[in-house]
Amino acid sequence: MTTSFKLTNTLNELTLFIHDRIAGYQTAARETKDAANQAYYQSLMQQSEQFVQELNGFASAAGGDDEDSTTLKGRFYRGFMDAKALVVARNEQSILDSNIYGEEWALKAYREALESDGLPPAARAAVERQYAASQQTYEQLKGLKAQG
For the segment 47-84, what is each residue's pLDDT rounded down to a tens digit? 999 999 999 999 888 887 777 766 556 555 556 555 55
pTM: 0.87
- C-alpha–C-alpha distance, residues 56 and 64, integer Å: 9
Contact in structure between 92 and 40 (CB atoms under 8 Å): no
Count how many Cα atoms sit within 13 Å of the Cα of residue 138 in the half-sphere of its side chain.
Answer: 15
- C-alpha–C-alpha distance, residues 23 and 75, integer Å: 9
CATH number assigned to the domain covering 3-147: 1.20.1260.10
Domain boundaries, the chain: 3-147
Reply yes or no on whether the pLDDT at 136 is more than 80.
Answer: yes
- C-alpha–C-alpha distance, residues 125 and 131, integer Å: 10
